Amino acid sequence: RYGLIEEENQIGAATGLAYTTAGGDILSIEVTHYPGKGNLKLTGKLGGVMQESAQAAFSYVRSRAEQLNIDSDFYEKYDIHIHVPAGATPKDGPSAGITIATALVSSLTGRAIRREVGMTGEITLRGRVLPIGGLKEKALSAHRAGLRTIILPEDNEKDIENIPESVREGLEFIPVKHLDEVLEIALVKEEE
Amino acid sequence: RYGLIEEENQIGAATGLAYTTAGGDILSIEVTHYPGKGNLKLTGKLGGVMQESAQAAFSYVRSRAEQLNIDSDFYEKYDIHIHVPAGATPKDGPSAGITIATALVSSLTGRAIRREVGMTGEITLRGRVLPIGGLKEKALSAHRAGLRTIILPEDNEKDIENIPESVREGLEFIPVKHLDEVLEIALVKEEE
Amino acid sequence: RYGLIEEENQIGAATGLAYTTAGGDILSIEVTHYPGKGNLKLTGKLGGVMQESAQAAFSYVRSRAEQLNIDSDFYEKYDIHIHVPAGATPKDGPSAGITIATALVSSLTGRAIRREVGMTGEITLRGRVLPIGGLKEKALSAHRAGLRTIILPEDNEKDIENIPESVREGLEFIPVKHLDEVLEIALVKEEE
Amino acid sequence: RYGLIEEENQIGAATGLAYTTAGGDILSIEVTHYPGKGNLKLTGKLGGVMQESAQAAFSYVRSRAEQLNIDSDFYEKYDIHIHVPAGATPKDGPSAGITIATALVSSLTGRAIRREVGMTGEITLRGRVLPIGGLKEKALSAHRAGLRTIILPEDNEKDIENIPESVREGLEFIPVKHLDEVLEIALVKEEE
Amino acid sequence: RYGLIEEENQIGAATGLAYTTAGGDILSIEVTHYPGKGNLKLTGKLGGVMQESAQAAFSYVRSRAEQLNIDSDFYEKYDIHIHVPAGATPKDGPSAGITIATALVSSLTGRAIRREVGMTGEITLRGRVLPIGGLKEKALSAHRAGLRTIILPEDNEKDIENIPESVREGLEFIPVKHLDEVLEIALVKEEE
Amino acid sequence: RYGLIEEENQIGAATGLAYTTAGGDILSIEVTHYPGKGNLKLTGKLGGVMQESAQAAFSYVRSRAEQLNIDSDFYEKYDIHIHVPAGATPKDGPSAGITIATALVSSLTGRAIRREVGMTGEITLRGRVLPIGGLKEKALSAHRAGLRTIILPEDNEKDIENIPESVREGLEFIPVKHLDEVLEIALVKEEE
Ligand SMILES: [Ca+2]
Ligand SMILES: [Ca+2]
Ligand SMILES: [Ca+2]
Ligand SMILES: [Ca+2]
Ligand SMILES: [Ca+2]
Ligand SMILES: [Ca+2]
Ligand SMILES: [Ca+2]
Ligand SMILES: [Ca+2]
Ligand SMILES: [Ca+2]
Ligand SMILES: [Ca+2]
Ligand SMILES: [Ca+2]
Ligand SMILES: [Ca+2]
């Protein structure tokens, strides 16, 4: 059902946490690629900041292709599409950065993403994870959707104490400083 | 006659169901392709959300070309045009996603679409079918136009009971979760 | 003289019928092509709907190139320009669709268009002719300009009776469902 | 001196006649070309209608390249620049069409334009010359600038009588229907 | 120091004279080129008229490449950047035309520009120098900055008498009709 | 922690000083490059002046590639991305010019940038460093963040005396006229 967590681990789909004036929500970020000419397409009624955030995530992945086990000329052999349903809902902000990066790596490596993991954090070109807003509301929506693990920026660790204990008990919070840690947690191990 | 169902099964034309402030309507979504350079053209006074919806449908088809029996380098040998008459009527929203995808697959495979089938549902990059609004009004317009089968998102199954019984009796409702099911129902079997 | 019918049958120039708040008018739609790189140029202060209408006409012609006796790689060897004088008058709407398609076929095949024929009708990607508005005003302007034959959409046949008899007598009205019929009527036979 | 006629016959510079709310004025339209990739550049604070007018003139020249003694692949070996000084003055309207076409032919053939000739008239893709407004004001400015010959659309011949006799006496008015006539009058004969 | 004249003759940097509602100012116009693909970049918060003016200057240089001793295929081997500091100050108008052309020629030939020369004048595609406004204010700012020579359009020669005598005495005014004269004056002789 | 100085010397990340109506702030400017087609991407909600400033910095680096020990065809083998976190904060102005140029040189040469150095100054195409505003506020923020060295334009040397002595004592101020001096100070020596 839409709005709940995935039924299986997915390749190319990561779960982000959004925060709007209407409260928190979970966001499924989808990435696909196919033979093409190196174009990047961004859809889902994304505002300018979120589009730039996706471009930063894309550049991070391109600059680290070799270490991530991605064929280094993928950028000229494939087109890549990043889409965020539902298509009629406006979305913006930088906090989906690490979620987009994770979905990109998953699509390009074929490694699945753990279905019970949600995440939030701005990404920089160096893979740094910067702080975000609305952690409490995001945690509430993660809890409602059935997630078990929340990856968050280390700079937001201090905000965990403001989350109601009933919510905190059902969720594991993992503060991170760099995208490498996010990928380590969110991607299914190849031997699994 | 315009506004009624097709007189024959068509290649590259699928029937969608639209919902506006003026009520429900049926929508013929046309796709054609011809030798070209890989361009995608979208016309018919489509709003931004509907254009992005068409791009998501196009990416789904490209990422599944092999399974759909589509020549995998069609994207660089053809130009593709998606048009939604009537050209002066503004149209928007994500609910034509599965209709666009179906018309695309029909045009590229040469398989006809059953003339008595109408459909509504948002599509994601993974081919998931997301819920839509206005099912009652859409069903009324389908009934008026002479359709017999309505494909709808599984998440909208609960809304069927709000449709007047006189309308429900003449229509078969088929809830789906994935585009594969849509294609199975809407495309004419090759041996037919 | 400008505003009257052509003095000779023309290659690449078809006569459309327009309807504005100021009444009906005839419209000369010009098409030319020359060695180029496959670009399509649209000029004459055309609104968005009319530009999309020209793109639909162009796609119809490209998808039927072989049947229309047009060299199938014309799209990469020529540039094509569609222009609608007078250049300072804003124009919009989908009803010039079949006129644009006819002028395109004339330019690309070198077959002339009968000077006494005027036409109005929206075109779809499949060559269907959809209904238009303002038939009465269009017929009056056709009569004033000296046209003898009006091609119109079958769905508008019912509107003929609203045209004053004095105008109706001097004009032949030919309702059509598909562009093939338009071309059969408007293009001069090759043996002529 | 700026605002007066050229001191010598020029290659690639034709004199047009403009009409604004501030009265008539003469307009020097400059064209140059140089080795390039087939780009067309339009400058001089030109409005949309005047830019489209230049594109129509350019298409006319391209479609008649052979008859005009222009190398038929000039469009891919040169860049072409059309500029209308003074650069800070906004300009618009279709009536510079034949002036632009004349300057283009002059630049591409190397044939000079007679310095005492001014002209006004919309051009179509077929080289037709359509009527313009403000002939009286244009004639006054032509007279002030020292021009001797005015090329005008045949449909404006009736407006000559409204020009004051003192102005009419010093000017020769030549009504035309087609650009071929304009070129015959304005370009210096090769044997001259 | 910024706002004063250059400390040495410069390659690719010419001094223009600007006139705004705040009075006159000097403007350093910088041009650089480097291996590339033929792109022209314009920066420095330039308005539309000034950008078009730069394009006219660029076309003049391209059409006279041979006479100016510039390699005729420079346009496809280099990218060219024209920048006008200070980057936060809006600038517009056509009067920097000859300054931009001079800086372009300097950059592409490697010939330095005399540090004590300032200039103002619109340029046309044929290299004509058209009149400008604000000569008095421009002369005052040239004087303050330490310039010694002012190149100005011949049509502005009559305005020199309005400049205060104390300013006129320290400056040499050279009226010109064509860019060739500007280059003769502003560029350092090769044997120097 | 975000808002404090880097924990280690970084390749491709330089520290700028910003000045807004809300006071001073430090700004981490990130540059990365990877195999590509010569595209330059600019993100981080940058205003028009800051984007042009980045283009000027990029042109300076391209025109001096050889002297800077950068492979001269890097511009066609790599894509380059300049990003300024935090992505949701609007940024503008020319004063980040030398910081962007320094981060570019660092990324393209692989030489690290000293973590204790902050800088501010507009850059021109010739590498000149032009004056900036808000030096006092910028110095305060540099002090709070833990920086030790401030590179500033020579034209701003006179503004140092307005900075409170408690702040001045902990910082070394180095006035510069040209980017070469900036790189000499900010880049780690190769033998280090
Ligand atoms: Ca956000
Ligand atoms: Ca866990
Ligand atoms: Ca909808
Ligand atoms: Ca059935
Ligand atoms: Ca219409
Ligand atoms: Ca007849
Ligand atoms: Ca006009
Ligand atoms: Ca004469
Ligand atoms: Ca100016
Ligand atoms: Ca002197
Ligand atoms: Ca600034
Ligand atoms: Ca130090």
CATH number for position A150: 3.30.230.10
Torsion of CA C153, C159, C161, C164, to 10 degrees: -100
User: What rounded mean pLDDT belongs to chain C?
Assistant: 94
Largest pairwise CA distance in chain D: 50
Environment class of E2 (CB within 10 Å of its CB; exposed 0-12, middle 13-18, buried 19+): middle
CA D133 – ligand 7 centroid, Å: 7
pLDDT at C192 over 60: no
Give, in degrees to the nearest 5, the angle at Cα B29 between B26 and B34.
Answer: 165
CA distances from E1 to A132, E31, E170, F182 (A): 44, 20, 21, 18
Nearest-CA residue of chain E relative to D43? Answer: E52
Q: Treating both helix axes as pointing N-terminal to C-terminal, what angle do E48-63 and E97-109 enclose, rounded to 10 degrees? A: 40
Buried-state track F150-186, b at ≥16 Cβ within 10 A, e below 16: bbbbbbbeebbeebeeeebeebebbbbbbbebbbebb
* Residue ranges with strand state E in D7-61: 13-20, 23-35, 40-43
pLDDT at D2 over 90: no
Residue A7: per-residue pLDDT: 85
- CB-nearest to B35 from C60, C75, C93 is C75
pLDDT tens digit string along B40-52? 999 999 999 999 9
CA distances from C84 to C14, C17, C45, C103 (A): 10, 12, 8, 11
Q: Which neighbouring-strand residues pair with F123? A: F129
Which residue shows structure tokens 């008649």? D64
Beta carbons of A83 and B48 less than 8 Å apart:
no
Residue C153: per-residue pLDDT: 98
Beta carbons of E88 and F75 less than 8 Å apart:
no
Lowest average pLDDT, out of A117-126, C129-138, E71-80, goes to E71-80
Question: Total domain count for chain E?
Answer: 1
Nearest to C77 by CA among D73, B79, D52: D73
Lowest average pLDDT, out of A76-85, D66-75, E103-112, F150-159, goes to D66-75
Average pLDDT over residues E94-121: 97
pLDDT tens digit string along D12-41? 999 999 998 888 999 999 999 999 998 999
- The single residue of C28, C53, C95, C106 carrying the catalytic annotation is C95
CA distance D186 to E12: 41
Query: Residue D70 is which amino acid?
Result: I
Is C95 assigned a catalytic role? Answer: yes
Give the pLDDT band of residue D74 (cuts 50, 70, 90).
Answer: confident
Close Cβ partners of D17 (under 8 Å, ≥ 6 residues apart): D24, D25, D26, D27, D95, D118, D119, D120, D138, D139, D141, D142, D150
Cis peptide bond prior to D86, omega within 30° of 0: yes
User: Can you list the alpha helix ranges (DSSP code H) found in C30-178?
Assistant: 48-63, 74-77, 97-109, 135-145, 165-169
Choose, out of C81, C89, C107, C113, the residue to mutate when testing the contact with D (most D CBs < 10 Å). Answer: C81
pLDDT at E29 over 90: yes
Low-confidence ranges of chain B (pLDDT < 70): 1-2, 191-192
Give the pLDDT band of residue F126 (cuts 50, 70, 90).
Answer: very high
CA D134 – ligand 7 centroid, Å: 8
Average pLDDT over residues F60-85: 94
- CB-nearest to C43 from D52, D126, D130 is D52
Residue B111: per-residue pLDDT: 97
Q: Is the CB of residue B89 less than 8 Å from the CB of residue B78?
A: no
Question: CB pairs below 8 Å between D and E: how many?
Answer: 71
E169 in a structural domain: yes
Instruction: Work out the minimum CA distance from A66 to partner chain B, whole angstroms.
Output: 24
Give the pLDDT band of residue F25 (cuts 50, 70, 90).
Answer: very high
CA distance C122 to C129: 6
Residues with CB under 5 A from ligand 2 (ion): A 149, 172
CA distance F130 to E1: 9
CA distances from F58 to E31, F74, F105, F123, F153 (A): 14, 12, 9, 10, 19
Residues of B near A (CB-CB distance < 8 A)? 38, 48-49, 52-53, 55-56, 59-60, 62-63, 65, 72-73, 75-76, 93-94, 97, 122, 124-126, 128, 130-131, 155
A1 in a structural domain: no
Nearest-CA residue of chain F relative to E3? Answer: F130
Query: Residue E145 is which amino acid?
Result: A
C6 in a structural domain: no
> What percentage of chain A reaches a pLDDT higher than 90?
86
- CB-nearest to B87 from C72, C122, C126 is C122
Choose, out of A52, A75, A123, A158, the residue to mutate when testing the contact with F (most F CBs < 10 Å). Answer: A52
Strand bridging mode A122-123 / A129-130: antiparallel
Choose, out of E34, E91, E106, the residue to mutate when testing the contact with F (most F CBs < 10 Å). Answer: E34
Average pLDDT over residues C1-11: 82
D112 in a structural domain: yes
A3 in a structural domain: no
F50 in a structural domain: yes
D8 in a structural domain: no
pLDDT at C156 over 90: yes
Q: Cβ of C145: how many Cβ atoms within 10 Å?
A: 17
- Quick check: helix, strand or coil at residue C127? coil
Residue C154: per-residue pLDDT: 98
Give the pLDDT band of residue E20 (cuts 50, 70, 90).
Answer: confident
Q: Which chains touch E (3 or more CB pairs under 8 A)?
A: D, F
CA distance C57 to C60: 5
Q: Is the CB of residue F13 less than 8 Å from the CB of residue F155?
A: no
Q: Which chains touch F (3 or more CB pairs under 8 A)?
A: A, E
Q: Is the CB of residue C147 less than 8 Å from the CB of residue C26?
A: yes
SS3 content of chain C, % helix, strand, coil (to 5): 35, 30, 35
Q: Is the CB of residue C31 less than 8 Å from the CB of residue C107?
A: yes
Q: Do chains D and E touch (3 or more CB pairs under 8 A)?
A: yes
E53: chain D residues, CB-CB within 8 Å: 87
Average pLDDT over residues E31-52: 96
Instruction: Work out the minimum CA distance from E81 to partner chain F, whole angstroms.
Output: 7
pLDDT at C37 over 80: yes
A7 in a structural domain: no
CA distance F63 to F75: 11
Nearest to E190 by CA among E66, E32, E11: E11
CA distances from A113 to A147, C63, C74, D161, F164 (A): 13, 43, 48, 83, 53
ipTM value for the complex:
0.93
C-alpha distance across the termini of chain E, in Å:
26
Task: State the residue range of the domain holding E32.
Answer: 13-186
Instruction: Work out the minimum CA distance from E156 to partner chain F, whole angstroms.
Output: 32
CA F187 – ligand 12 centroid, Å: 13
User: Can you list the alpha helix ranges (DSSP code H) found in chain E?
Assistant: 48-63, 74-77, 97-109, 135-145, 165-169, 179-186
Give the pLDDT band of residue C176 (cuts 50, 70, 90).
Answer: very high
CA distance D109 to D67: 11
Torsion of CA F5, F10, F13, F15, to 10 degrees: 30
Number of helices and strands in chain B (H, E): 6, 9
D79: chain E residues, CB-CB within 8 Å: 59, 62, 75
Is E77 assigned a catalytic role? Answer: no
